[in-house]
Amino acid sequence: MSERGDYSPEDEDAPCHVLAIPADCAGMRLDQALAALFPEHSRSRLQGWLKAGRIRLDGSVPEAKHRVAGGERLEVEEIPLPEEQGAAAEDIPLAVVYEDADILVIDKPAGLVVHPGSGNWSGTLLNALLHHAPQLAGVPRAGIVHRLDKETSGLLVVAKTLAAQTDLIRQLQARTVSRRYLALVRGQLNGSGRIDAPIGRHPTQRTRMAVVDGGRDAATQYMVRERFADCTLVECRLETGRTHQIRVHMAHRGFPLVGDATYGARRRGNPLLDAFPRQALHAWRLGLLHPVSREALEWESPLPEDFARLLADLHRTEGA
């Protein structure tokens, strides 16, 4: 059942759901009841609507911890939150690897920002997605569920519906999405291993992340693919998805990524490596369960031209 409530004119087209709290939800916290009644939405989205006053219980805006008794009138207004509004569609080319009615897989080039933010309010992947699939304007963050740094290339998945986005977010939280990267790091790394170290904001340099006590749990598995005189090609698998995770973890171990001026010195005396203009990181394999069919899907992306050329130059130089 749906009907309009008494809302401001600018929200006139926002869908509003009105229902009675079922008896089997009696005794639940409101946030728990909302999650049960609206499984197509993530808990964070429902929390955002609650904080924004878009969810009412018997005409009032309750707290998330409020216990429901059953029978109350619940109104849920589905509108984008302020941080999800305002982006414009822009005709920016996209390398689409896969697309159906529910998901879209993109091979992102280095240099493309994923989401608008300070200093990058246009020309982003989100702007491109809104042009490619205008219906994404009705999905938070235009369906983006995970990000790649601006100078990192490779695969990422986008949800085309709210239900698909919620399912993919839950897959990410359950750590069932497979994300593998190729990284060229400074120094000679041996064997394989796992880095389990919490990541949070750097205590004094707020634009950087760091391994810090009290940070969010973060785990990266790595395996050596090839060694060179001054660097090592490694495959990394993310167990978690923290900001700059691979870059921070590898630098923490003493093996910063080639070209990463934020977490390592860009110049270390090897002209070939010093000339590479970005962090040498590529999201080369992505695997997940389709949010509707539950089919296991996997995609691979070849190394971009600049990364492949660097490896070819290393082979040629060290083979001479």
Residues in the chain, total: 320
Residues 6+ apart with CB under 8 A from 20: 71, 72, 73, 74
Residues 6+ apart with CB under 8 A from 259: 151, 266, 273, 276, 277, 278, 279, 280
Q: Given 31, 102, 107, 149, which residue is catalytic?
A: 149
- Give 220-224 contacts, CB < 8 A, sequence gap 24+: 220/194, 220/195, 220/245, 220/246, 220/249, 220/250, 221/192, 221/193, 221/194, 221/195, 222/189, 222/192, 222/193, 222/194, 222/195, 222/250, 223/192, 224/189, 224/190, 224/191, 224/192
- The Cα 179–Cα 288 span in angstroms is 9
- The Cα 302–Cα 45 span in angstroms is 35
User: Is 149 among the catalytic positions?
Assistant: yes
> Is 257:280 a contact under the CB 8 Å cutoff?
yes
Termini Cα distance of the chain = 73
Q: Which two tokens stand for residue 291?
A: 């949010």
What residues form DSSP beta bridges with 231?
A: 186
CA dihedral sign of residues 125, 126, 132, 133: positive
Catalytic residues: 149
